[in-house]
Amino acid sequence: MLAEAQGSNNAHNFVIATSAASSTPTERMRITSSGKLLIGKTDESVINTVGIEAHPTGLLAATRDSNVPLIANRKTSKGAIAQFRADNVVVGQIGAETSNYLYIGNGDTNLAFSAGSDLIFPRGTNGAQRDAAIDLGNGTNRFKDLYLSGGVYLGGTGSANKLDDYEEGDWTPIVQGSTSVLLLIPRIRLVILKVEMLFSCSGI
């Protein structure tokens, strides 16, 4: 182990180096004069160099070249793998549920991802099943456009609930009335969703 003096003001870094027998020591880790822990690197001013940094302010930074910089592994039970807090209040988590789906969200409102089924679906607390309970947007927080290559099931999962096409056309109603009453109805431009339904329209 070496204590290294740097600069005219005698600022010191605490350096740990290792070596094989009869070899020049190679630095492995250092604590800088500002209290930062560096592993595998010597420059505390550049995060984008390979190595690990732990700052006394609470910052942790890991940089790895062409490979995964972070692995979090939970054993024995399913549940949260990473938990996120703001002022010590849990605001979200990432975890694994019983079928090894990854889920991400907050409390009982989560999304799960299944690569094997090519599926993204809603999940509840700790990734538990939660059907027909989570909304997508609301009246004042709306998404803009929705791009689909298939259909949409509205109000059910049967074939009659599937909207998979639309047609545009003109519809001119036929109006019947007495000679003393004249009812004018302009031509109506319709966009008709193709659903299996029957309707009738009559006027007097």
pLDDT over threshold 70, residue 69: yes
Local confidence band at 204 (pLDDT 50, 70, 90 cut-offs): very low
pLDDT for the residue 188: 52
What pLDDT is recorded for position 98? 84
Out of 69-73, 96-100, 121-125, 194-198, pick the least confident. 194-198
Q: Is the pLDDT of residue 67 over 90?
A: yes
Please compute, for residue 56, the number of CA atoms within 13 A of its CA located in the half-sphere on the CB side.
6
Q: Which of 198, 135, 120, 195 is nearest to 162 (CA)?
A: 195
Query: 54-58, 126-130, 157-161, 177-181: lowest mean pLDDT where?
Result: 177-181
- Largest Cα separation within the chain, whole Å, is 117
Q: Could you tell me which of 163, 166, 170, 164 has the C-alpha nearest to residue 189?
A: 170
* Whole-number pLDDT of residue 3: 52
Q: Which of 29-33, 79-83, 192-196 has the highest mean pLDDT?
A: 79-83
**Percent share of the chain, pLDDT over 90:** 54
pLDDT at position 166 is 72
pTM over 0.85: no
| Coil vs helix vs strand at 52 | strand
Give whole-number Cα distances, 192 to 103, 145, 167, in Å: 38, 19, 5
Amino acid at 148: L
Average pLDDT over residues 53-75: 96
pLDDT tens per residue across span 111-159: 999 999 999 999 999 999 999 999 999 999 999 999 999 999 988 999 8
